[in-house]
Structure 1
Amino acid sequence: MQKDAYTLILELIEAGQFRPGDRLVESELADRLGVSRTPVREALQRLETQAMLSRDGRSLIVASLDHNQLAELYAVRAELEGLAARLAARHATEEEIRVLQGMVQEDRALQGGDPRALSRANKRFHRQIHLASHNRFLVQQLDLVHRSMALMANTSFAAEGRDTVALDEHAAIVTAIAEGDAEAAAAALKTHISKAYETRLRVDAGELKLR
């Protein structure tokens, strides 16, 4: 199925091709995507409505998150992700659990490598937990939250040592889900989000270096 202009532009933002503060020009995007300017214009308007883009004079730029917005985003993410893990512990199938276990093992091979590759693997892992919750409304809300995560200039996986710790946290989450321990799964995932937020704050404060 052919992707529309909105999906293509969103994917470029999520992939880091367009970063916070970058200006999006309608004509340039139309040429890049091989479509007319009308669907691009409509896509940009939709992304502005969703706060993925903001106005800078007459131009549209990729939005960025200030300190308070970052705190708000992580607070919502922790609660929703915790709920997803809790539900996954109750409803995940054996096949879904094996997929999660496989992801943890496969992602170990990425340690010390490209932070963006680790970030993509992390998104896949969390998405699999969302799906294992078997709650479509929760999945929809988490999709919106993760979309906003693309507005961060750097991934926390770029911080020195974060990849090893994060993957250990992933393993603890999957173990709790596999054991059907809903409360432990929720707690492990909320701790994981808290540590990621703390890492990001320490990077912003200059306490941690980026690889």
Structure 2
Amino acid sequence: MQQARPAQKDAYALILEAIDGGIYRPGDRLVESELAERFGVSRTPIREALQRLETQSLLVRDGRSLIVASLDHNQMAELYAVRTELEGLAARLAARHATAEEIQVLREMVDEDRALLDDPPALARANRRFHRMIQLASHNRYLVQQLDLVHRSMALMANTSLAVAGRGEVALGEHAAIVEAIARRDEEAANKALRDHISVAFVTRLKLDSRTRLEG
């Protein structure tokens, strides 16, 4: 029994990473045998991982099959509303509790991510690392846990808003403003900078989603 638990965790992480990385997109059917072959994992942990993902509403039933869930307009709005509140709080707490080393890492992330402006998928991954670092710098484990749930659901969005022309450069400028507010220990400014950042991202997302639905 003790050997099965790491395998289950690995299968879950592998499938979640594949969804997050766009290998499996909203509406795609997940077949147990194909997943087991792709990831080199037996079917039992795959089955258990799929059940876990279904419980978390990342997968939904289509007859007897499981498909990657998609978010409608209202679900997206609800998700961004929660994300705005929680990430704003994370920035506020980071301004209060972040160590000098954590602030240095955040600054270096912004600088290093400029090299990724021509690679939206890589920039999207870097963006997640940046936001994760702010969450960890809040030094509040319960907040981090709740944001983990939010960001799992973010994986259900088929495209990154950072792929929109010019958005990546603007986003990095917003990241820099967030970091400087945290460095000044200005809790209100950090909260506002991060909330504004997510608001702009949401507007971009809505435009992208609207265009995608029309083209579909």
Fold match by TM threshold 0.5: yes
Give aligned-pair identity as a percent. Answer: 75
* Paired position in structure 1 for 2:167: 162
Amino acid at match of 1:9: I
Amino acid at match of 1:171: A
Q: Does 1:98 align with 2:126?
A: no
Report the 3-state secondary structure (helix = DSSP H, G, I; strand = E; otherwise coil) of the residue aligned with 2:211. coil
**In structure 2, distance between residues paired with 1:85 and 1:40:** 36
Root-mean-square deviation (CA, aligned residues, Å) is 1.3
Return the offset for 1:34. 1.4
Return the offset for 1:204. 2.4
Return the offset for 1:110. 1.4
Q: Deviations over 1:126-173 (max 9, x none)?
A: 000000000000000001101110000100001111011101000000
> TM-score if structure 2 supplies the norm length?
0.93
- Give 2:191's match in structure 1, choosing from 181, 186, 189: 186
The 5-angstrom pairing of residues 135-150 of structure 1 reads 135-150=140-155
Residues paired across the two proteins, number: 206
Segment drifting more, 151-160 vs 30-39: 30-39
Q: Does 1:66 align with 2:72?
A: yes
Report the 3-state secondary structure (helix = DSSP H, G, I; strand = E; otherwise coil) of the residue aligned with 1:54. strand
**In structure 1, distance between residues paired with 2:133 and 2:196:** 18
**In structure 1, distance between residues paired with 2:159 and 2:10:** 27
The 5-angstrom pairing of residues 189-208 of structure 1 reads 189-206=194-211
Segment drifting more, 28-37 vs 88-97: 28-37
Q: What are structure 1's unaligned runs of at least 5 residues?
A: none
Report the 3-state secondary structure (helix = DSSP H, G, I; strand = E; otherwise coil) of the residue aligned with 2:116. coil
Q: Deviations over 1:82-121 (max 9, x none)?
A: 000000000000000000000010111112x121111000
Q: Deviations over 1:174-204 (max 9, x none)?
A: 0000000001000000000000000011122
Amino acid at match of 1:99: V
**In structure 1, distance between residues paired with 2:156 and 2:65:** 17
* Paired position in structure 2 for 1:36: 42
Return the offset for 1:206. 3.2
- Give 1:84's match in structure 2, choosing from 86, 90, 96: 90
Q: What are structure 2's unaligned runs of at least 5 residues?
A: 1-5
**In structure 2, distance between residues paired with 1:84 and 1:68:** 24
**In structure 2, distance between residues paired with 1:204 and 1:33:** 31
Q: Deviations over 1:42-67 (max 9, x none)?
A: 11011000000011111100000000
* Paired position in structure 1 for 2:3: none
Q: Does 1:25 align with 2:31?
A: yes
- Give 1:11's match in structure 2, choosing from 17, 27, 32: 17
Segment drifting more, 160-169 vs 2-11: 2-11
**In structure 1, distance between residues paired with 2:40 and 2:158:** 27
> TM-score if structure 1 supplies the norm length?
0.95
Report the 3-state secondary structure (helix = DSSP H, G, I; strand = E; otherwise coil) of the residue aligned with 1:17. coil
Amino acid at match of 2:68: V
**In structure 1, distance between residues paired with 2:114 and 2:11:** 35
